[in-house]
Amino acid sequence: MSRIHVPIELRWSDLDAYGHVNNARMLTLLEEARVRVFWRDPDSAQEAPLAVIDASDATSTRTVIARQECEYLVPIPHLRAPLDVQLWLAKIGGASIEIGYEVFSAPSVQPPVLYTRAATTIVLVDAESMRPRRITDAEREAWAPYLGEPVAFGARR
Amino acid sequence: MSRIHVPIELRWSDLDAYGHVNNARMLTLLEEARVRVFWRDPDSAQEAPLAVIDASDATSTRTVIARQECEYLVPIPHLRAPLDVQLWLAKIGGASIEIGYEVFSAPSVQPPVLYTRAATTIVLVDAESMRPRRITDAEREAWAPYLGEPVAFGARR
Amino acid sequence: MSRIHVPIELRWSDLDAYGHVNNARMLTLLEEARVRVFWRDPDSAQEAPLAVIDASDATSTRTVIARQECEYLVPIPHLRAPLDVQLWLAKIGGASIEIGYEVFSAPSVQPPVLYTRAATTIVLVDAESMRPRRITDAEREAWAPYLGEPVAFGARR
Amino acid sequence: MSRIHVPIELRWSDLDAYGHVNNARMLTLLEEARVRVFWRDPDSAQEAPLAVIDASDATSTRTVIARQECEYLVPIPHLRAPLDVQLWLAKIGGASIEIGYEVFSAPSVQPPVLYTRAATTIVLVDAESMRPRRITDAEREAWAPYLGEPVAFGARR
């Protein structure tokens, strides 16, 4: 199974008054990783491997976040080197997918620190009817190489 | 079982480019509800019923968020009337608690809309050793009236 | 001259890692004050005194922020009592207005603390042509009672 | 005169419900540019040219933002290529400096778009007494090559 690695830069403003990356802000960082991986970039010839959702096309599909789960393992301080957000498909359902994430320190940090595990359930919705629509064969094929195991949340063990 | 009702005002800036309250921002709204319920207000004679954690006391206990889960049921538009964040203790463990939430429209809206279900696991940590510390009898007693059932997440049914 | 008083609640998340309300977030608080004062509330019979801009009407006027200036006089800690954002019209031009602000501590705090002075220049734009449009007589009349002096920025004295 | 060029990546979450980078968020982007230019990076051998403020040294100097001014010339859409934040010293005073900024589109965009002009006045404060302290000769010398003209705000012309 392949994981997508998305380098995500922190901002100083991601810290809260405790001096660590805020727990809600972590979901913003995961959102940014999804945007860069899943959305087609109209200005780029080079396609991201999972960029099969065309955000600019307002007439067909919308994506709706149905559920998120996040496990905070180690507090994240202000870091200059981008986080290594690793992302895969934890599940491909009939009209929804589950993204799995493990958020690590930058590759230059040895040994790597695993900061966060998370999962997002996304429903594909027909933009006209606003009802869930089935995942197409083209989408299923594009995503198959990144289909991996469920997120290994520790708290449930 | 009693629930605590915390009115939380939206801001226009809570909306994202899709025109609804952003999924990450929802965790900020839940954080704000916790702050108002759990933290002692040094300027108020009137105690919040669960305000047994003294945020101003840097020498004893810190709270660390270990895990969050959130189910987004209905998109939230820009609303002037505060959300009715309902909150209870879904679990009291040895050194941790789980907060349960259901986020409703304002009481003036009939019938009420259930927007979001969520849960937060919080670990109590000794500020000196930074290791989990046991929940005290005083805390357990203060929280007992608000101990309720686990959050009824639909996606797991 | 009359000022509009808008109570604006802080959130704990408005603080940055220095433990005070972040300088950029202050502009979000001023934005929220404008939204509550200037935008018509479709669900309320009671009109805000300056609510002559109908945010729901996408076919006529848009407002564009052209310029902002902000003077930070005293750092703002985490406060439970809402800030008293005082707001008036510092200038009514041909196609633009300047809002003046002074941000004070809650009325219950004596003596009051003046935290921030600010000004925002807003241009009224025709939504179809996206070009500035002249302020109407009805708008000028509604705003006249709140027309006051320029913001007394200290740094320019 | 030399300007410092700081590439600052946008996030999708920087957009507000109007679909453009929010006016308050722009100050967060400028803050991030300052952090990367002015703060020493403890993990880097390579010094930023203006990194004479040691953020890790809690015992000597703090910087306090006294004033900001921002002119919004062109709305900023969601962009994948980082903004080119150009930054210089618009003024070196006795105990304060003024940073000037011009925020452009990425260098790959031709012709370049000038989105925003801004200025920030920063006071150097002794961390112990919390009173302004004089700029040292070492600081003045390090900053001199980046001393340029005042920001050319158009609204004042």
Strands B114-126 and C61-72: what pairing? unpaired
Confidence of residue B51 (pLDDT cuts 50, 70, 90): low
**C-alpha to C-alpha distance for B62 and B152, rounded to whole angstroms:** 28
- Has residue C71 been placed in a domain? yes
The interface residues of chain B toward chain D in range 22-51, judged by CB-CB distance below 8 A, are 22, 24
Q: How far is A139 from chain C (nearest CA, A)?
A: 36
In Å, how far are B137, D9, D41, D50 from D46, measured between CA atoms? 54, 21, 9, 12
pLDDT of residue A38: 86
Nearest to A32 among D13, D31, D35 (CB): D13
Does A88 map to a domain? yes
Which tokens belong to A150? 């469920």
Task: Kindly report the nearest CA distance between residue A121 and chain B, in angstroms.
Answer: 9
**Quick one: pLDDT at residue D44?**
64
Tokens 């050319």 sit on residue? D152
Residue A41 CA to residue C90 CA, distance in Å, equals: 43
Q: Do A71 and B67 touch (CB under 8 A)?
A: yes
Task: Look up residue D134 and give its amino acid.
Answer: R
Handedness of CA C100, C103, C109, C111 (dihedral sign): negative
pLDDT above 80 (res C156): no
Of the candidates A13, A17, A78, which has its C-beta nearest C19's C-beta? A17
pLDDT, tens only, A52-82: 555 455 557 888 999 999 999 999 999 999 9
Please, which residues 61-100 of chain C have a Cβ atom closer than 8 Å to chain B? 80-81
Question: pLDDT tens, B63-119?
Answer: 899 999 999 999 999 999 999 999 999 999 999 999 999 999 999 999 999 999 999
* Residue A125 resides in a domain: yes
CATH number of the domain encompassing residue D14: 3.10.129.10
What pLDDT is stored for residue D53 in this prediction?
58
- As to burial, measured by CB atoms within 10 angstroms (0-12 exposed, 13-18 middle, 19+ buried), residue B121 is buried
Domain containing residue C97: 4-146
Query: ipTM score of the complex?
Result: 0.90
| Whole-angstrom distance, CA of residue B63 vs CA of residue B52 | 12
Residues in chain C, total: 157
Q: Residues of A with CB below 8 A from B19's CB?
A: none
Tens of pLDDT, residue by residue over D6-43, are: 999 999 999 999 999 999 999 999 999 999 998 877 66
Nearest CA in chain D to C155: D67
Lowest mean pLDDT among A83-87, B5-9, C137-141, D70-74: C137-141
B59 touches chain C (CB under 8 A): no
Strand residue runs (E) in D3-92:
4-8, 61-72, 83-92
Is residue B157 assigned to a domain?
no
How many structural domains compose chain B?
1
**Whole-angstrom Cα distance, residue B120 to residue B133?**
18
Asked if C13 reaches chain B (Cβ–Cβ under 8 Å), the answer is yes
Q: Which residue on chain D is closest to C69 by alpha carbon?
A: D69
If pLDDT is split at 50, 70 and 90, which confidence band does B60 have? confident
Give the pLDDT confidence score for residue C61 in this predicted structure.
84
List pLDDT tens digits, range A92-144. 999 999 999 999 999 999 999 999 999 999 999 988 888 999 999 988 998 99
d(CA B23, CA A33): 15
Q: Please check whether residue B128 lies inside any domain of the structure.
A: yes
- The band of D60, judged by pLDDT with boundaries at 50, 70 and 90, is confident
Residue of C nearest to D62 (CA): C18
The pLDDT value given to residue A61: 83
Q: Does D138 touch chain B (CB under 8 A)?
A: no
Q: Residue D65: which region, alpha, beta or left (left: phi > 0; alpha: psi -120 to 50)? A: beta
Q: For C11-65, what is each residue's pLDDT tens digit?
A: 999 999 999 999 999 999 999 999 999 887 766 666 555 655 555 555 578 889 9
User: Distance (Å, rounded) from C-alpha C60 to C-alpha B62?
Assistant: 52
To the nearest whole angstrom, how far is the Cα of B30 from the nearest Cα of chain A? 9
Percent of chain C residues topping a pLDDT of 70: 87
Which chain B residues are within 8 Å of C28, Cβ to Cβ?
A: 11, 13
What is the arithmetic mean of pLDDT over A25-49?
82
* D37 within some domain: yes
Which positions in chain C touch B81 (Cβ < 8 Å)? 43
Phi, psi of C77 (to 5 degrees): -85, -175
Burial class (CB in 10 A: 0-12, 13-18, 19+), A86: middle
Tell which of C11, C15, C16, C78 to mutate to test the A interface (max A CBs under 10 Å): C16
Q: Report yes or no on C151 lying in a domain.
A: no
Q: How far does the CA of residue B71 sit from the closest CA of chain A (Å)?
A: 4
Q: Does residue B21 fall inside a structural domain?
A: yes
pLDDT of residue A157: 38
Q: Is B131 on the interface with C (CB under 8 A)?
A: no
CA distance linking residue D105 with residue D108, whole number of Å: 8
CA gap B2, B144 in Å, rounded: 10
pLDDT of residue A112: 96
The band of D127, judged by pLDDT with boundaries at 50, 70 and 90, is confident
Chosen for mutation from D13, D25, D28 (greatest number of chain B CBs closer than 10 Å) is D13
The confidence band for C127, taking pLDDT boundaries of 50, 70 and 90, is confident
Look over chain D and give the mean of its residue pLDDT values, rounded to a whole number. Answer: 89
